[in-house]
Amino acid sequence: MFEIDKEFIKKFQINKNANDFEVVFRYYAPRIKSLLIKGGADVAQAEDVMHDTMINVWEKLHMYNADKGSFSAWIYTIARNNRIDLLRKKSSKPYTDINEIEIASENDDGQVIAEKKSISLHVKNAINLLPIKQRKVIELSFMNDMTQDEIASKLEIPIGTVKSRMRLAYQKMKDNLKEVVA
């Protein structure tokens, strides 16, 4: 399968042409939809949020900074925020995420919050090194969009155990990635 690598993204950012965007769309659109459906969205909602996410990708492409993280992480963050927005559509109060503050100040280096070193290459190994029980809570949280309470119910374990598995998993990943995470 064609892999979207750093060079491709760099070229895409510079040229911003429809052909490259179609490659990005074909790769990420089904993944975003699958993520959303796993998280409980129906097919129509997943299609809508995927569309919103890809529109954001096109319109905010110049804001992606490869030094801050991987393109997949950037797209994941946009999809995550659009999903949160979908959940709050019924709410009278819009939700502001820290990413929007960052986007609002794209030319201001004073409060750039993201880590500058690329950690993408090491993350996959760090996830794979986790014990199965810890990886499971991470997947349920990130892929199935479950709160700690929901994970506790699904796995029939106390919420304290969910928290401690998450804590251990994060700590382990942090230790495994200490060379690249400040």
Closest CA to 4 of 14, 22, 104, 90: 22
Nearer to another protein, 10 or 95 (CB): 95
Length of the chain: 182
| Residues 52-91: x where in contact with another protein by CB under 8 A, - otherwise, as a string | --xx--xx--------xxxxxxxxxx-xxx-xx---x-xx
Which residues, 128 to 147, sit near another protein by CB under 8 A? 138-139, 141-143, 145-147
Choice from 66, 119, 155, 157 touching another protein (CB under 8 A): 119
Q: Does 109 bind another protein (CB under 8 A)?
A: no
Task: Count how many Cα atoms sit within 13 Å of the Cα of residue 52 in the half-sphere of its side chain.
Answer: 18
Nearer to another protein, 12 or 54 (CB): 54
Buried b (16+ CB within 10 A) or exposed e, 18-48: eebbeebbebbeeebbebbebbebeeebbbe
Least distance from another protein to the Cβ atom of residue 156, Å: 18
